[in-house]
Structure 1
């Protein structure tokens, strides 16, 4: 990774440090979700939440905030530079976590979580823009997959971490830990992360320009269909995350098993990302992702039928859900790279629009699934299966039926150019 003129005097991180730093910043957003899972019942009890399914809002509103925030953060990073916007978001994330640790009203907590999600959006949209500034195509997918492996240490460890914190402190300490983690990552980024969007490339927001860019990003076929495909798959994943406390209490009667099962399932996503990083440049983005999506649908159908017959056990759940999440990881990581292939020249704005769609869309879909919870495990594979079929239909239409084969590099003559 070469230094830009604006940052030539700043020590540059090596490739491994860069990947770990990007993953750590991405993990901030995940920590705000996964570490909270063991605490949802305690929060609901302490803040007098009357409807149990409303506890899911602690996750859903945070996730929705991450989506809403991405609309602005990517555009601002195109104007002000990646690093400045990223660090501002991290500072707000830290402050809001400390505020959330002391509130006593559920509605106020939900509002703070929404705003904290907005600030955490910089850790996704801006980091994605940084990677796109430096890499493209299969190489970008490889970097994102490697980052994803490190990033997944958080969802693997966070629920267990949350449970450990609850053994010695109230749920408020989890928010304090989130702030501490954000402060450490923010200091690391401030000291080591270079500015990848130099001054000569920056552009002050202009309504007419943004309309043209937004029109291109939302109508360019690969950007549109793969972004929508990610949104529905993220909805299935977030529904699983939100429902875990209730599933392990109501179905498996083993709340203490939630953290290790969550770690096992997240571990398959890490393995899938490692496989993807190894194979993507040789096999190709579309061939891997289309095949993985097909396998995702098949596994969810098997899981649905198995649950419908009443044979679901904790062991069968771990096996089938792990496979589901592994194939989901192979699909979405490559979908993300495909969606960005032809919009790299407006990476910040494109990442904002795509991130808003996938995050808010995923939050809405997961809420629709989660609010249907009545105590039967069938809801989870049914929702995932429907989401997988919708994603497949979107990509099938976008690719005009030509699935499982790769296209060549983007034709420069077909890439959108900004004209004032």
Structure 2
């Protein structure tokens, strides 16, 4: 089997789930991760008050643990879900993860201590990690190369609706319910996803393409992933650049509330950033099959560095003014709409025969690296945006160095295997 060739859809997929519904379903599954983070951003202050945590200054950074406990659970267990889905198929493992996601949301609602809430969030991250692995694997089961990049871009366009709406939904919930209500949305979403998958998603991994399950076999598959220099380099690069995204998510509520005094309108500013990323993802889906994954994603890396440098200079020269900060900040984060789907497709392109394992390795390494950098940046928030933006610029430069080494100095190249 040539992993660089588009694989035809499994027979049961044809007529059962069209492209539009496939994109919508995969976007929904991936959005469960974003929903678990973004819907509670307006509630972080309430959660801190409920558990008697500091709510102002650097001490308030502890509330970010509600986010990073989840992210910590999301990363490492993906290395288990990949081989499981390669052996038993996508749908059976996905069912279990969706039910677990919903069940742990209920545990979060019942938490009576902050450590208990963090433990439940960690477990929810584990379930969401499995959902993410399988969602990406489903796409790779039936698409490759630029076709996969196009589909993933469409998925990301729909997916980004959640960061746009979720904080607003969380804020509306807080008007009528305590902070536990934000986890109630996750319970409903998890159960809804389970019903959608159960009724509409066929199995995309036929029996004859399944891999034996063994420790030795799984280790061999992971070695194959990381032995591929292209996959290895882009996995590390993805982890570094997405550390900026995690750092923003963790500190965004504090930045807009404390630095810019936008407590009441935070959700609108957050939605604006997400909207630019969604527009960029949609644009990428229209351009990637013409220009290729590398040309677009490499240009986006330079754009991220340039806009983060301009933003840092502007904040140092003109002071922390929202009307200067937001346009540059939104343009900087629009770069992710051109980076995420293309990096993902580059990694998965040569590894279609072990798509579940490759997706798991990508998710594990990227999330683990990004979470570490993101928490480091968020924890250095000091009441100003300077440490956060400095961290973004540093991560952008680091990613450029990693990708340049991976491509042996040949950026923007569109090799024949793409």
Same-fold call, TM > 0.5?
Answer: yes
Which residue, out of 9, 12, 27, partners 2:16? 12
Matched, 1:43 2:47: yes
Shift of 1:123: 2.3
| Counterpart contact for 2:9–2:142, Cα < 8 Å | no
Render the CA deviation track for 1:174-196: whole Å, top value 9, x for unaligned. Answer: 10111101111210111001101
Which stretches of structure 1, 4 residues or more, deviate above 6 A after TM superposition?
none
Distance 1:408 1:391 in 2: 24
Q: Give ranges in structure 2 of 5+ residues lacking alignment.
A: 1-6
- Counterpart in 2 of 1:417? none
Listed as ranges, the matches of 1:31-180 within 5 Å are 31-50=35-54, 51-180=59-188
Distance 1:172 1:207 in 2: 40
Distance 1:147 1:158 in 2: 17
Distance 1:71 1:220 in 2: 17
Render the CA deviation track for 1:321-343: whole Å, top value 9, x for unaligned. Answer: 11011112211221111011111
Matched, 1:189 2:189: no
Distance 2:16 2:70 in 1: 33
Query: Could you state the TM-score of these two structures normalised by the residue count of structure 2?
Result: 0.95
Render the CA deviation track for 1:64-116: whole Å, top value 9, x for unaligned. Answer: 21112211111110011101111110000001001110111000110110110
Q: Aligned pair count? A: 408
| Counterpart contact for 1:233–1:332, Cα < 8 Å | no
Distance 1:334 1:401 in 2: 18
Distance 1:341 1:200 in 2: 20
> Which has the higher mean CA deviation after the structures are superposed, 309-318 or 251-260?
309-318
- Counterpart in 2 of 1:252? 260
Shift of 1:404: 1.1
Distance 1:386 1:209 in 2: 38
Distance 1:313 1:205 in 2: 56
Render the CA deviation track for 1:175-232: whole Å, top value 9, x for unaligned. Answer: 0111101111210111001101112222232222222221221121110111111101
- Counterpart in 2 of 1:209? 217
> Which has the higher mean CA deviation after the structures are superposed, 31-40 or 193-202?
193-202
Which residue, out of 346, 371, 380, partners 1:372? 380
Render the CA deviation track for 1:30-61: whole Å, top value 9, x for unaligned. Answer: 10000010000100110122441111011111
Distance 1:300 1:239 in 2: 14
| Counterpart contact for 2:10–2:142, Cα < 8 Å | no
Distance 1:389 1:237 in 2: 15
- Counterpart in 2 of 1:413? none
Which residue, out of 356, 363, 367, partners 2:371? 363
Shift of 1:310: 4.1
| Counterpart contact for 1:11–1:192, Cα < 8 Å | no
Determine helix, strand or coil for the equivalent of 1:356: helix
Distance 1:300 1:328 in 2: 13
RMSD between aligned residues: 1.5
Which residue, out of 313, 326, 342, partners 1:318? 326
Query: Could you state the TM-score of these two structures normalised by the residue count of structure 1?
Result: 0.94
Render the CA deviation track for 1:223-276: whole Å, top value 9, x for unaligned. Answer: 011111110111100110110111122201121121001111100111101110
- Counterpart in 1 of 2:392? 384
Shift of 1:11: 6.1
Render the CA deviation track for 1:261-309: whole Å, top value 9, x for unaligned. Answer: 1111100111101110001000000000001101110000000111122
Render the CA deviation track for 1:337-364: whole Å, top value 9, x for unaligned. Answer: 1011111111111111111001111111
Matched, 1:393 2:391: no
Determine helix, strand or coil for the equivalent of 1:255: coil
| Counterpart contact for 1:285–1:334, Cα < 8 Å | yes
Distance 1:3 1:233 in 2: 33
